[in-house]
Amino acid sequence: MTLRHKLLLVALCTLALPVAGWLYVRQMEALLREGQAQALIASARAVARSLVVTHAALPQGDAAWYVERAINPITVDGYGDDWAPLTPWSQPFGARGKLLLAGDANGLYLYAEVRDTRRTRADGMDGVNALAADHLNLVLGNAAGQQRYLLESDAPGAVVAKALGPPVAGLPAELPAQWQEDGSGFRVELRLSPSLQLQTLGIGAYVAEAGGDRMEAETRPLLDYSPALSAELASLAPDRVQARVLSPQGWLLARSGRLDSAPGTHGQPGWFASLVYRSLLATRLEDANLWAQDVPRLDTPEVLRARGGQPVSVWRSGEERGSVVLSAAVPIEREGKAAGVLLLEQASRAVPLLANRALLGLLLTSFGVLLVAGAILLLFATRLSLRLGRLRNAAERAQLSDGRLDGLFERGRFPMTDAPDEIGDLARSFERLFEAVGGYTDYLRTLASKLSHELNTPLAIVKSSLDNLEHAELSPDAQPYLDRARDGVARLGALVRAMSEASRMERAIAAAEPEDVDLREVVRGCAEAYRPLAGARRLDCVLPDTPLHLHCAPEPIAQALDKLFDNALSFTPHDGWLRLSLRAVDGDAEIELANQGPPLPAAMQGRLFDSLVSLRDKATPGDAPHLGLGLYVVRLVAERHGGIASARNLDDGSGVAFSLSLHGMPRQRL
């Protein structure tokens, strides 16, 4: 991982700031919601106590039949099409029955369904057999008493239910109804006049196949929406709050007010703000459909808990975009018993808007700080990387492959040595190191010329002394030692002359003047000159089809080729081959001389072009020693032309190849 990537990773750690801010805003939003919930619960308790004190018309008992408001006109035909909107709030009776009650200005409508897959029928005029067949028991009650009716039919259609027992004032002796049936059971629908002033209603179903009490009926008081209770509730409920009074079973008895859905002073939140609030801030919101304003019954868990005597609050989604609704449910207790449940609901946009504004402001600030910090760290990392790269480049190019410096300190000091920071300290350490290396390298480079100069005089003295000893009378036993000394002096003299020649070659190569030449002609001329020297060996010359012009020094290049050919010739068998080739490489030139022979040792491939390094066999006594300066001269020529000299083994293992890479020399300005 690069330094810039590491600093960028450090900059990403500042993301902890918006995360911490988000947690803080979330906690703040929870505290605001809790405060509003406690305040609304306190208001609900006060209203509930007021309803009890004013003796509001609250239901008595735990069970009752609820009469819903008829949404559409109802036709008494025994079919349930008109009852479809009210079906979700049907009331069960017995083990098989389902009851729906609805009222309008025309009276009270009753619709009962009984599951009965196997009908048992009897003659409707036979009272004994009628009780044994499948039938519906109906009990109507008013202030004067209760009257029981029996509904049974042998076939679908109109049916008349006759009263059982003595007549009751205000209640009819017969009730017209509609009877319909199918494979799943039978259905009864009828209408009761509003003049009956019913207070209670009982209903029960007898299915002969299942058995049981033939006269069973569940009798309960009737409940419906009370305008009087709604008016009293409106006088007690707080402003901008919707209040609902529910029976212990959750049926709607009264309602006042409406949810305030106007934007108000806080404005109307957009879809993005609503999404942010619901996704990042709101811990949990109930579904608005469960708390709809027009449903006749609420049986949510919160209402059930309030009926048990525990005040509870819940936040839910509002019907309007971006709004939330706080609902508080408290029990209405009379004489220690729950007479109902009071539900107060208040729409709120202030909490989402304030939380959104706080969160968005914090996020914008945090991301702004993050971007600024990231940009600063990125710029710092970029500058630091560039400085380190500059220092690395200077260190890489300061020293050439032969240990010589490239004149860096002649052009000026090592880069960034004036910097006052740690990189400046590192640059100054590099500068001192390269100064020491450069001085030692210069000493080694001039050592050969110094030694050759200093050794000339002692060698001359030794040689003259040996000449004088030849004229003296020596014993025959001393003559071999004199010959050995003279041979050693000859070797030492050759070594001194070679070192002097190497120094002269370095100066000559450095002083060579470049010119525009066609390297193809230079290489062709050298190849023609080498053919007589190759003897029985085959010499191939591979040249490009077009001229290869280069601004270079042709004489040092020819000398380098001479050294390469001399080196290759000494290792090539008498019946072997040599191949001299020239090719263009990216506008430059490369000369390669390959020969058949033994491969290069792996340990020596990097040292072949150093001075005083040779792979040839040690010379025999009397022969001139080989000092390994030829390939050193080749390297000097390559470096003079900005290139390199290299050696490698051929892929097929048949020999070796020496390459001389040449670049065009810079042109001198007049």
Identify the domain boundary among 183, 202, 224.
224
- Average pLDDT on 126-133 reads 69
**What Å distances lie between residue 572 and 400, 537, 561, 594, 619, CA to CA?**
32, 8, 16, 10, 18
pLDDT in the model for residue 433: 82
- Kindly state whether residue 363 falls inside one of the protein's structural domains: no
One domain for residues 211 and 314: no
- Kindly state whether residue 421 falls inside one of the protein's structural domains: yes
SS3 state of residue 341: strand
- State the DSSP code for 654: S
**CATH code, domain carrying 262:** 3.30.450.20
Q: Residues, the chain, total?
A: 670
Residues 6+ apart with CB under 8 A from 510: 640
- Name the range with the highest mean pLDDT among 27-36, 128-137, 237-246: 237-246
Name the residue with tokens 């805003």.
25
One domain for residues 623 and 474: no
One domain for residues 490 and 419: yes
Domain count, the chain: 4
One domain for residues 29 and 70: no
- Kindly state whether residue 384 falls inside one of the protein's structural domains: no
One domain for residues 78 and 101: yes
In the chain, % of residues over pLDDT 70: 77
pLDDT of residue 138 exceeding 70? yes
Identify the domain boundary among 446, 479, 510.
510
pLDDT tens per residue across span 422-459: 888 888 888 788 777 777 777 766 666 666 666 777 77
pLDDT tens per residue across span 9-19: 776 776 676 67
pLDDT in the model for residue 614: 55
- Average pLDDT on 217-234 reads 90
One domain for residues 534 and 478: no
One domain for residues 141 and 280: no
Q: What are phi and psi of 500, to 5 degrees?
A: -65, -40
Q: What is the pTM of this model?
A: 0.52
Smallest Cα–Cα separation from 395: which of 421, 380, 422, 417?
Answer: 417
One domain for residues 299 and 430: no
One domain for residues 603 and 560: yes
**CATH code, domain carrying 533:** 3.30.565.10
- Kindly state whether residue 377 falls inside one of the protein's structural domains: no
Judged on CB neighbours under 10 Å (0-12, 13-18, 19+), 545 is exposed
Distance CA 515, CA 510 (A): 14
Q: Please say whether the beta carbons of 598 and 571 come within 8 A.
A: yes
pLDDT of residue 620 exceeding 60? no
Smallest Cα–Cα separation from 112: which of 180, 46, 176?
Answer: 180
One domain for residues 167 and 184: yes
Identify the domain boundary among 479, 510, 541.
510
- Kindly state whether residue 394 falls inside one of the protein's structural domains: no
One domain for residues 198 and 211: yes
- Kindly state whether residue 651 falls inside one of the protein's structural domains: yes
**CATH code, domain carrying 179:** 2.60.40.1190
Lowest mean pLDDT of 140-144, 348-352, 616-620, name the range: 616-620
Mean pLDDT rounded to a whole number for the chain: 80
Type of residue numbered 38: Q
pLDDT in the model for residue 212: 87
Residues 6+ apart with CB under 8 A from 64: 220, 221, 222, 223, 247, 249, 251
Boundaries of domain holding 436: 399-510
Choose between 488 and 617: higher pLDDT. Answer: 488
pLDDT tens per residue across span 461-513: 777 877 777 777 777 777 787 778 878 877 777 777 666 666 677 777 777 88
- Kindly state whether residue 238 falls inside one of the protein's structural domains: yes
How crowded is residue 249: how many other Cβ atoms within 10 Å of its Cβ? 19
pLDDT of residue 43 exceeding 70? yes
- Kindly state whether residue 455 falls inside one of the protein's structural domains: yes
How crowded is residue 30: how many other Cβ atoms within 10 Å of its Cβ? 15
One domain for residues 324 and 420: no
